[in-house]
Amino acid sequence: MDKPHTDKPARPDWHTYFMEITELVARRSTCLRRHVGAVIVKNKRMLATGYNGAPAGVTHCSETGCLRARLNVPSGERHELCRGIHAEQNAIIQAAFHGVSIQGASLYCTNQPCSICAKMIINAGISAVYYKDGYDDPMSLEMLAEAGVELIRLP
């Protein structure tokens, strides 16, 4: 009897699987500074995805240019001076738009959430955030910890 073919890639664990999907989602980003993807998961099922970019029907920064770059606004500051919406926000909004409860879900994201996204994550009832890359926002870390939202950095 022939042996099964054994040189196929290993089956990814759940964290790897969802994190790799966030990287694919991030490729849809129209931001000129950073491409971020997010996936909301509950019971090993994807409920919503989001990437950073301008709201639906609004001209993308890839076409208009980056106001923050023109004004030399450092990363993590003056979020209101941006046409885009963050990936985490888009994922939460997509779930709400389609009537999908995300209470008790986990959020996978290519980057650690900022403080604005942390507030939305907390109030949406998301219980854990898995992320790949850091983001310099100590307030985000403080609020997530105080609210009991697990924050786990994956390799």
Q: Which residues are annotated as a binding site?
A: 86, 114, 117
110 sits in which H/E element: strand 106-111
DSSP of 32-68: SS---EEEEEETTEEEEEEE-BPPTTS--HHHH--HH
Tell which residue, 126, 128, 121, has the closest CA to residue 86. 121
Dist. CA 83–CA 55, nearest whole Å: 8
As a whole number of Å, the end-to-end CA separation of the chain is 40
Distances (CA, A) of 148 to 14, 51, 113: 22, 25, 15
Longest dimension (CA), the chain: 69
Residue ranges for the binding site for Zn(2+)? Answer: 86, 114, 117
Respond yes or no: is residue 88 known to be catalytic: yes
Q: Which of 88, 142, 146, 150 is catalytic?
A: 88
Dist. CA 112–CA 24, nearest whole Å: 17
Active-site residue numbers?
88
